Chains A and B, each alone.
Chain A
């Protein structure tokens, strides 16, 4: 935003150089966040979830019928959960476009997810031109349809990189561990050892250890089927979706695009580093659709107002950089919380369907579970239940990791 901004003044030179370099390098190709992970073995790149945004054209005069399906309370396009899916959402823009966004571990997981929900997904997508005749059952056709309708994701923020099955295991592990901590209160030495033996025997901890050993591999086939169900619930005390579509001033589009691409490609974590200051934001994506529309989609915890205020108070500068070029953005930026809220409300888009693999779990829970799982696995390897000084070390362990228990 301003040149005096410390974060950017220091990087202005680097940014400019890399901007020119990347613009030269990437001239001709469309630099987007790739839905496919980089080929493994050669440097790899950052692991973690991938995403794509699909925009399908609603056939003329069929919007009303589509809307009726989306508004049908019995219709849930994401009823069946699937392996490797973090979050998925569906929404319409105007009468012309239907958007589908998904965050997954592997592209095949996403296709598999759609195929599994074929009956309900087809009910929505059959109003769109180009959708395969047989629907999602036709996996080849579906794949071609998705590839043909991808929207460029300019910026993708992830608060955690772990695959879905690992996060689920870590969350369960934390629950078991908290139960253990509670049960151990007032227990005798002997009972404590028994409880600890019980905990380490549990599948969660055992499997967690296995899973952690195999990061990046396709392990964990032993996971129960019901573990993967997506919960279609939203509300307070839940993870919620936020979708925004705002028009950008025409003359500012190019600059904004460059800024977003720098964030993704040149590894200058413009928005990305700043977003990590938000303790309630799981994922965020920014795309520029059409000629001049900014599409922002995020997954956050809890109450909308609290989330917006976090934007305006924790990462005001960065948010101003991304949203600043939009028409109707408050003059004083996101620090003017009231006007900023009004801007977001005015441009917010209703998310018609939303599902996630851990909607009742907050970002902090996920992060602390993952950290705790690692620490606990280390502890388990070092101390068996008969270790003479187990109680002492357990106390030290709890004191050291007490912030992960809140």
Chain B
């Protein structure tokens, strides 16, 4: 069982299909000085929502506040030391911490494939130059409740404006109303396939975990919560700053709805098939969320709305891609046990929790592009940014995918992949199920999605936030006496050394250090230390 009262609620709550809050705001902050940052975190700390707190409320009620810190903030607060200390014990090959330290902007063009119109140089100014220090994620199911929360947050921010806390950017997302609820701008239900996490205290839906012989095995909690055993049985990020936290990837993705509809229309017309079918083949699901593997010919809204069935499928019976094409978005990004794909053992290492919400007005059906900005505020939760989010983006969306049918450089994710600049080579094959019918090939795929910005954040546990706010120093070694040494193959300390050998991290600006260090034994993460 996870320490759900420690884990922030946007890590493991309200992410599954049909549960996500309808109104979300992201408030991006910059800190000028450590004092103001600590003060703000201390002040916000009691308001931050944990998974446990969400569980205590009636379903779909109340508002939620979550806090994420980017690496520049940790450096400013002087706890970059803890991050550096982690470098040594962390597995260098995975590069887990490196992604977080470098930030999304630095890795965008090389790793994430953000080139041309998506290149960081064209991003919105707030996301460039490492300005972002923190993000406040506010969400609610009812708009008025979000408004009330925002007022409280604004009042707190106003207090700290004098201490150098600056609101530099904000993003507002909102699900569509009525029957379009839960859909993104292209018109498809979003966030259907979500991982089932062991110990998260949620009832699992079939299809969420890793396919086993007759069932689905939940994913290890360490894939999403730091300091927990992950799929390879290791515990990474066991130090106090990280334990019970997670990493959050934020990406603002602009969707070119007019372009998408026109393209699908054109392909359908050229090949005499319905445009809806073309669009569904690109995605791998129907607008309702019903998967093509289970509903190959037409949409099945009842199936799409049933969380117990809409994700319960495998690709073993679709080895030729006749139902769901090999290159379809859902088949690329979560290949399950696909016999032509990378297989179960790899797929389970690359799962993410997604929480995307649309921004901008919906383009009414049949209307030409009105030039207004619209898209998706995409959030991914994962424990290892490089192994999970970046790997999927780099390998499965923008490149080769270890597949026996897809190949680089032409075959990329048709929906959100960054197509080759020439555009002439990007294509998408829809295999035909009949011997007398040629496959449909969608040629010259344009970019339907443009990246407008993004950043990586750490979502610390509630205790870690408290400690940061109160400037409680941590030792560099994590809780060295536990059995949970961060690195499995390194000799664990035989006995607890007195921590005196390692001076606590200097917090020169904090006069209260002497007082707080006295409190350390009673207040800390993961309970008592030896």
A contacts, CB < 8 Å to B: 178, 181-182, 185-186, 236-237, 279-280, 301-303, 305-306, 309-310, 312-314, 330-331, 335-339, 341-342, 345, 360, 362-365, 368, 392, 394-396, 398-400, 402-403, 405-406
A399, B402: Cβ atoms closer than 8 Å: no
Cα separation A185 to B443 with both chains bound (whole Å): 11
A310, B436: Cβ atoms closer than 8 Å: no
Chain A residues in 8 Å Cβ range of B395: 302-303, 305-306
Chain A residues in 8 Å Cβ range of B342: 306, 309-310, 313
Chain A residues in 8 Å Cβ range of B406: 364, 406
A399, B438: Cβ atoms closer than 8 Å: yes
Mask of B261-275 contacts with A, CB within 8 angstroms, 1/0: 000000000110000
> Which of B391, B403, B405, B408 lies in contact with A237, CB distance below 8 A?
B408
Name the residue on B nearest A277 (C-beta).
B404
Name the residue on A nearest B431 (C-beta).
A402
> Which of A178, A309, A360, A406 lies in contact with B349, CB distance below 8 A?
A309
A362, B94: Cβ atoms closer than 8 Å: no
B400, A302: Cβ atoms closer than 8 Å: yes
B429, A405: Cβ atoms closer than 8 Å: yes
B94, A186: Cβ atoms closer than 8 Å: no
> Which of A301, A314, A338, A403 lies in contact with B234, CB distance below 8 A?
A338
B441, A182: Cβ atoms closer than 8 Å: yes
Mask of B429-449 contacts with A, CB within 8 angstroms, 1/0: 101101111110101000000
The A contact surface, by secondary structure, is helix
Name the residue on A nearest B434 (C-beta).
A399
A403, B320: Cβ atoms closer than 8 Å: yes
A400, B435: Cβ atoms closer than 8 Å: yes
B394 at the interface (CB under 8 A from A): yes
Name the residue on A nearest B345 (C-beta).
A313
Chain B residues in 8 Å Cβ range of A302: 395, 399-400, 408
13 contacts between A and B (CB under 8 A): A181-B441, A185-B271, A280-B400, A302-B400, A303-B399, A309-B349, A336-B232, A338-B91, A342-B93, A364-B406, A396-B436, A399-B432, A403-B320
Chain A residues in 8 Å Cβ range of B403: 279, 364
Cα separation A261 to B308 with both chains bound (whole Å): 53
Chain B residues in 8 Å Cβ range of A341: 93-94
B402, A309: Cβ atoms closer than 8 Å: yes
Cα separation A403 to B234 with both chains bound (whole Å): 39
Q: A237-B408, A302-B400, A336-B232 are in contact. Are A342 and B92 (CB under 8 A)?
A: yes
A182–chain B nearest beta-carbon distance, Å: 5
Q: Tally inter-chain residue pairs, CB-CB below 8 A.
A: 119
Chain A residues in 8 Å Cβ range of B432: 399, 402
Chain A residues in 8 Å Cβ range of B205: none
A303, B434: Cβ atoms closer than 8 Å: no
Cα separation A396 to B93 with both chains bound (whole Å): 48
B327 at the interface (CB under 8 A from A): yes
Interface size on B, residues (CB 8 A): 44
Name the residue on B nearest A362 (C-beta).
B407
Considering only residues 388-434 of chain B, those with a C-beta below 8 Å from chain A are 391, 394-395, 399-400, 402-409, 411, 427, 429, 431-432, 434
B326 at the interface (CB under 8 A from A): yes
Cα separation A331 to B327 with both chains bound (whole Å): 36
A121–chain B nearest beta-carbon distance, Å: 30
Other A-B contacts than A303-B400, A313-B345, 4 sampled, CB-CB below 8 A, are A302-B408, A313-B343, A363-B407, A402-B431
A279, B443: Cβ atoms closer than 8 Å: no
A186, B436: Cβ atoms closer than 8 Å: no
> Which of B326, B399, B437 lies in contact with A399, CB distance below 8 A?
B437
Cα separation A363 to B404 with both chains bound (whole Å): 10
A186, B439: Cβ atoms closer than 8 Å: no
B489 at the interface (CB under 8 A from A): yes
| Nearest 3 Cβ contacts at the A-B interface | A313-B345, A341-B93, A398-B438
Name the residue on B nearest A330 (C-beta).
B489
Q: A305-B395, A396-B436, A405-B429 are in contact. Are A362 and B400 (CB under 8 A)?
A: yes
B400, A182: Cβ atoms closer than 8 Å: no
Chain A residues in 8 Å Cβ range of B317: none
B346 at the interface (CB under 8 A from A): yes
A287–chain B nearest beta-carbon distance, Å: 25
Cα separation A400 to B349 with both chains bound (whole Å): 35
Chain B residues in 8 Å Cβ range of A236: 394, 399
Cα separation A314 to B340 with both chains bound (whole Å): 12
A5–chain B nearest beta-carbon distance, Å: 17
B270, A185: Cβ atoms closer than 8 Å: yes
B437, A395: Cβ atoms closer than 8 Å: yes
Cα separation A116 to B405 with both chains bound (whole Å): 38
A146–chain B nearest beta-carbon distance, Å: 34
B439, A402: Cβ atoms closer than 8 Å: yes
A406, B437: Cβ atoms closer than 8 Å: no
